[in-house]
Structure formats: C-alpha cells, structure tokens
C-alpha cells in the first residue's frame, strides 16, 4: 500500500520532495500578481497555464501515494511576503477548495505565536509556540507555506497512520480494537458556528475498502473533562496513550524543518503530524510565520458515515470539512 511507509522511507520516495522549477514559479507569480490582496480569501482560481501537470500530479500523490509532499523553492526573499502569500493561495485553490478554519470564516490562517494565554477563548495550538502532539485537522489535505522559520525549534513530524494501524494490528490488536470504536470530541473553543457540543468519532475507520484515520487528542481530553460529553474509560485512555507512544517512535515518523519558501502538503486521512516547541527572535518581523490552508479535495476518498456531523459530508469527492461560520 503506497501510504504505508515507515520513518525515513518517506525521504527516499519519488513522491515526497521536489523543487519547483522556473516555469512553475513563473506561472504562480503571474497568477499571484493578478490577485486583489484586500480580498485574498475570496480570490478564486484563475487558470494556471502550464501548471496542470504539477497540480494533477500533486492531487494523485496526496490521495494515492504517500500522502505527504514537500515542495521547495518559493523565493520569498525576492517576491516578498505579499506575492508569496498570493502564490501559495493560487496553488492551494487549484489543488482543492479552501475551507473555513474558524467561526469568522478564515480560509487563510497565519500560524505564529499570537501570545494568547491558554485560557483565552482565541487560543489554539497553532497560535502559540508550544509543542503540539500528533493529530489531524478537519480537512482532506492541509497545506503549509513557510514565510519565516523560528530562531530555534519548530520542527515538523509526520507519521503514516496506515503504518500505525498495521503496527497495532500485528503487535497490539486489543488496542486497535478500542481505537476503531467512537471517542468523544468536544466542540473546539473557536468552532462557535457548530451547534453540537460534542461528537463521537473513531480514530481508525474504513468505507468501501478505503482507509481513514482522524485524531485530535486535545478535543478528546476536553470532552473527557466536560460534563456535557461522555467520559473516557480506562481502556480508552490506555489505547490513546499507546497510539501516541507508537507515533513517537523514530522508526515510524520523520522529522524535518520547514525553511523559508517550503510548502508542505499532507493528506489528513493517511498521515498524522505535529510540531515541536519553538523559540522566536525578539524582533517582530523575524518571528516564525507559516501560512495554513485547509482543503477539501475533489479526488478524496469516501469516509465513514459517522463523520457526517464533523465534516458535513462523507462521499468520495464531496465538499466537506472546515468550521461553519457563525450565524449573524
């Protein structure tokens, strides 16, 4: 199975990393210069002449390949952050449909330390400098573009969730059985357009023979503590601990650092990802800054029907995921 890779095997694959060529960069820049920077989130996908092979190749690699692709070479220093941002948006909006990442409808999210206190309702992991645990996001594909790396730290970790499943199937089948059962997820603090206080989802599932994995422990743990959601059993906590311990095995995951001009694309149904803590420089315009876009993909796999409350649709190729904008 192409999505079943272990550790550094990913780096040896032809569908993992590549540098954007001059023709591709020229096409991206041409489209980026046409975008209205004041209405970037509304900007639709114009034709990317000559870039069809890149787009179709990425779509196939993300769904049918390793599920992880690193593109290098966006010349942020030469283009500036505005043109680079618009180029990233143009590329992502051709790959799939950008989704809302908050109740305010943000489709382009700035991943940087905003300095929010943990008890601030605006606080979320990507708005801090804290270490993040392995997880997936509410979309088919997540796209990152690095405008500036941190002074130190901020490394990216990616693991094949297919490899995790297979390792558990061979070595801890009792744990796998639990992880295929539903877990409660509390509504995120920034998901105020969602009327449901919680939903219940398995970590591992399948539909029509297609594998799917979904995991965000922070919302599971919040549900465990919340009076309005079911509490976890000891067996469930042990299974989650076992999953996270396995994902942290260096033989299974890869670790790398996104540098300025890098674009990382991940299929959330077949990979988990996380980030290490980072330290910024004191100068505001020299701090770590990534762009993030959540994408619904036209060539996506079908997912289990139990995800309908969380994703809105479950059929292959359906427009799904993201957070509903708050009414009014």
Sorted by where each begins, the domain ranges of the chain are: 7-311
pLDDT digits (tens, 9 = 90+) for 75-125: 999 999 999 999 999 899 989 999 999 888 899 999 987 667 777 766 777
Q: Is the pLDDT of residue 164 over 90?
A: yes
Backbone φ, ψ for residue 283 (5° rounding): -75, 125
How far, in Å, CA of 195 to CA of 210, rounded?
A: 29
pLDDT digits (tens, 9 = 90+) for 170-217: 999 999 999 999 999 998 877 777 878 899 999 999 999 999 999 999
Q: How big is the chain, counted in residues?
A: 328
- CA–CA distance from 200 to each of 22, 134, 182, 239, 268 (Å)? 47, 19, 5, 16, 18
pLDDT band at 38 (very low <50, low <70, confident <90, very high): low
**pTM score:** 0.94
Q: Average per-residue pLDDT in the chain?
A: 91
Q: Quick one: 7-311 is in which CATH superfamily?
A: Clavaminate synthase-like (3.60.130.10)
* Pair of tokens at residue 229: 């959601």
Which residues, in sequence order, are bridge partners of residue 108?
Answer: none
Q: Which helix (H) or strand (E) holds 193?
A: none
- Contact assessment for residue 205 and residue 180, using Cβ atoms and an 8 Å cutoff: yes
pLDDT band at 40 (very low <50, low <70, confident <90, very high): low
Q: Which is it for the CA torsion 64, 67, 248, 189, positive or negative? A: negative
* Pair of tokens at residue 16: 């993992």
pLDDT digits (tens, 9 = 90+) for 133-153: 999 999 999 999 999 998 888
């Amino acid at each position: 199975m192409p999505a079943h890779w272990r550790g550094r095997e990913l780096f040896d694959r032809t569908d993992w990393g590549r540098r954007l060529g001059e023709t591709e960069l020229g096409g991206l820049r041409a489209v980026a210069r046409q975008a209205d920077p004041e209405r970037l989130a509304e900007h639709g996908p114009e034709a990317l002449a000559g870039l069809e092979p890149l787009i179709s190749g990425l779509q196939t690699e993300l769904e049918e390949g390793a599920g992880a692709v690193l593109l290098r070479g966006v010349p942020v220093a030469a283009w500036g952050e505005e043109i680079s941002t618009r180029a990233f948006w143009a590329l992502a909006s051709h790959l799939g449909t950008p989704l809302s990442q908050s109740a305010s409808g943000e489709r382009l999210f700035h991943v940087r330390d905003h300095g929010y206190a943990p008890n601030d309702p605006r606080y979320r992991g990507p708005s801090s400098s804290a270490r993040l645990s392995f997880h997936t996001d509410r979309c088919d594909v997540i796209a990152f573009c690095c405008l500036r790396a941190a002074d130190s730290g901020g490394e990216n970790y990616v693991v094949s969730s297919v490899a995790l499943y297979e390792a558990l199937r061979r070595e801890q089948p009792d744990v796998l059985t639990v992880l295929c059962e539903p877990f409660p997820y509390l509504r995120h603090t920034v998901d105020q357009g969602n009327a449901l206080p919680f939903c219940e989802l398995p970590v591992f599932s399948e539909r029509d023979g297609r594998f799917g994995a979904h995991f965000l422990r922070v919302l599971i743990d919040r549900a465990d503590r919340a009076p309005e959601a079911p509490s976890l059993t000891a067996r469930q906590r042990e299974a989650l601990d076992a999953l996270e311990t396995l994902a942290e095995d260096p033989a299974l995951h890869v670790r790398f650092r996104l540098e300025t001009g890098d674009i990382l694309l991940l299929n959330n149904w077949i990979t988990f990802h996380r980030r290490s803590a980072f330290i910024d420089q004191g100068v505001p315009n020299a701090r770590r800054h990534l762009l993030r876009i959540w994408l619904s993909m036209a060539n996506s796999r079908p997912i289990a029907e139990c995800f309908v409350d969380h994703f809105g649709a479950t059929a292959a190729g359906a427009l799904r995921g993201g957070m509903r904008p708050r009414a009014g």
